Amino acid sequence: MSNYAPESSRRRLLQLFAGAPMLPLAGLTGVSAFLSGCGGSSDNDLPPVTTPVTPTATFTTAEFTGMAAPLASAPAALATTTVGSKLKVNFSDGSSNSYNLAYQPFFLTGDRVPDGKGGSVIAGAYFDIKNQPIIDSSVPGKERQFFSDSPDGSSMLTVANASVTGVKGKPVFAVVQFEYNSFNQAGASTYGTLPSPIAVLTLDQDQTTGKLSLVKYHNVDTSSVKGLWITCGASLSPWNTHLSSEEYEPDAFDQGLGGQSLAVLKEFSKNVFGNTATANAYDYGHLPEVSVNPDGTGSIKKHYCLGRYSRELVQVMPDQRTILGGDDYTNGGLFMFVADKVADLAAGGTLYVAKYTTQLTETTTGKLQWVKLGHATHAEIKALVDGGIKATDIMDSTLADPSDASYTKIVLNKKTAWVRVKAGQEKAAAFLETHRYAALKGGSMAFTKNEGTTVNAKDKIAYSAYANIQDSMVEGGAGYVAGNNVKFKKLVAGGVVSHKLAGGQKDDTGAAIDSEWVPSESTLLIAGEDIAADGLGNTANPAKIASPDNLKFSEKLRTLFIGEDSGNHLNNFLWAYNVDTKKLERLLSCPAGAESTGLHAVDEINGWTYVMSNFQHPGDEWNRFPGLPSALKDQINILINTNYNSKASGAVGYLTAELAQVKLSK
């Protein structure tokens, strides 16, 4: 790794990369712009480089050069993480520096990692409400603690006055959540039946290279929030906390209108509480928030007032009040919450759902109006849940036409239902039965798998990923409703939609929306391409995105990072899309069948730039690739089993610049 000669030179280098004065970023620190990505199993220790620094030129732009997709002739590459991309940094004097990118892991789930107390713990391990290990006893004689194969949302941050034993440089923290466990050792599905773990990693940041090393893994105690439910994507709040998610909320009516069944909730309850009856559907589907302490531990709370829907993640806008949320669902919506107070979600706010007043298609811009669903505080909604409110106390919901004009016909999860709100229960309906109430109120509940959400603050544009454009988004598709004004041509490969943000908007009641960061119109930004299955079984063009899921935007790099969750690409990719040049470049390839997750772009921590990402469930769902030759599939399968603990392990790691080829002198 690189070494700076004098410390003063390093400070001059940070200033050299300071960039636009409007951005509070130190930006790329030249020698080692660290970027984290999907996991693997190699380690790259590189020779030191000492170079002089010229403080006259300033950073202007950065651009990525992509890598080729792995080929059938290289099964070993198909069965692990591969990186062949580059980063070029340009300066105001016309010069540039180029960086080859390589992979550096933190751990595989199931590994024993340091607990910071001289011992070790299992990465991604599951615990019950009493913080006792949950044991997989499905195979007699092979009992072991359950651990996740699906690391997902991540945040990287620093904390004032941090002090953790074992850190030699500066402490940096990463919060990592684990979405689910796919199977027990006997091969039976365990999806959604275990309480999602969430951990704080203490990372030792080398101040001469920026390299990150894991020194402590702390499992956050979630008993105070009754455990976590299928934590998917995440984001870092502007006030330096990790905003988690609870996806596919349990359907309290158990009518199959999306989310999970009460049968899954009962299994979850058994694993968390020791019985099938304790868990309450209305305690799940909310927004968990993790705060990191200076000693590398963490605490958690849940916010009940942001709506209960299949939240992939939320993006807080620069005003620290406006929050945009995706809805990983069929017949899902686009939701917005405007908090009453800056950096305080519990104090309450107003929940809205988007309604398109003009048609959104692959070629047209859809104009938006926001439908007000209600206003509440966390305490108000939590009191309803703690008081024992039931679904039938809130509203009537039936799958059979009641032939009663007091009911409203809605479509959710490709099914038709009829609903009406009980007298005086509008607030409960808005915040606990958000999907049903949003459809009843006329929101455009049209989307399929509305996944990651992020913001380009400089241009006032938000981005949403739609993993699959099908069913409710396609005329004639299952769940399609013409009045939603969302009508695309079917595209299983999906796409990314941009939303123009503006102030001065009014909701459906005519009341002013108190925010300058409200989506006013939507346009398709970038899309994949469906193809006939190729020699690897890809049903989407490997030169384009397929099923975009994770999204994060780097202000400094002017780059939208896109991670895939695709059964359309045998290997999911991590992409970089420059919003100025419109160039799309492949940065990294995950193991076959694995999903690229945990994406987080960090423009500056202690003068270093990072982009984090994880991967989950390698070798998953071979049936999604019928075009993959069986002999090649068998080769890949054996290699993945060898690399990733018989498919039981996902990875948390990061991309790093290879320093040996970097030259900073001008």
Q: Beta partners for 202? A: 173, 216
Tokens in use for 568?
């359309």
Tokens of 406: 């007091």
**Residues of the chain scoring pLDDT < 70:** 1-55, 658-666
Q: Which residues contact 510 (CB under 8 A, 6 or more apart)?
A: none
Give the per-residue pLDDT at 657. 77
The pLDDT of residue 587 is 96
Q: How far is CA 129 from CA 196, 239, 270, 278, 281, in A?
A: 12, 29, 10, 11, 16
CB burial of residue 98 (10 Å; 0-12, 13-18, 19+): middle
Using DSSP bridges, classify how beta strands 212-219 and 198-205 pair: parallel, antiparallel or unpaired.
antiparallel
Q: Looking at the chain, how many residues does it have?
A: 666
CB 314, CB 323: distance < 8 Å? yes
Q: For the chain, state the CA radius of gyration.
A: 24
The predicted structure's pLDDT at residue 604:
86
User: Cβ of 489: how many Cβ atoms within 10 Å?
Assistant: 14
Which residue from 573, 572, 574, 566 is spatially nearest to 624, judged by alpha carbons? 566
The DSSP line for 302-342 is: EE-SS--S-EEEEEE-TTSSEEEEEE-SEEE--EEEEEEET
Residue 209 has a pLDDT of: 85
From the CB of residue 101, how many other CB atoms can be counted at a distance below 10 Å? 23
Distances in Å between the Cα of 118 and the Cα atoms of 24, 167, 168, 362 are 38, 14, 16, 56
Phi, psi dihedrals of residue 643, rounded to the nearest 5°: -75, -35
Per-residue confidence (pLDDT) for residue 29, from 0 to 100: 38
d(CA 655, CA 330): 34
464 SS3 class:
strand
DSSP three-state, residue 177: strand
Which residue do the tokens 């009460």 mark?
A: 262
What are the tens digits of pLDDT across the range 548-561? 999 999 999 999 99
pLDDT at position 55, please?
A: 57
Among residues 163, 158, 166, 161, which one has the least CA distance to residue 215?
166
User: Residues 245, 314: contact at Cβ < 8 Å?
Assistant: yes
What are the angstrom distances between the C-alpha of 245 and each of 152, 249, 430, 452, 661?
A: 11, 10, 18, 11, 40
What is the side-by-side strand order in the sheet with 395-398? 395-398, 415-421, 408-412
Tens-digit pLDDT profile for residues 4-53 = 232 233 332 323 222 222 222 233 433 333 333 333 333 334 333 344 44
Q: Mapped to the 3 state alphabet, what secondary structure does 199-240 carry? A: EEEEEEECCCCCCEEEEEEEECCCHHHCCCCCCCCCEECCCC
Residue 324, strand partner residues:
315, 336
- Helix (H) / strand (E) element for 510: namely none
Task: Determine if residue 30 is left, alpha or beta; phi over 0 gives left, psi from -120 to 50 gives alpha, anything else beta.
Answer: left
How many CB atoms neighbour CB 294 within 10 A?
13
> 525 and 496 in contact (C-beta within 8 Å)?
yes
What does the DSSP 8-state code read for residue 517?
-
User: What residues pair up with 621 in beta bridges, in sequence order?
Assistant: none
pLDDT of amino acid 47: 38
Two tokens, residue 185: 């050792």
**pLDDT value for 658:** 65
CB 284 within 8 A of CB 246: yes
Long-range contacts made by residues 542-547, C-beta under 8 angstroms, separation at least 24?
Answer: 542/69, 542/569, 542/573, 543/69, 544/493, 544/584, 545/493, 545/494, 545/495, 545/496, 545/573, 545/575, 545/584, 546/493, 546/494, 546/572, 547/449, 547/467, 547/468, 547/492, 547/493, 547/494, 547/572
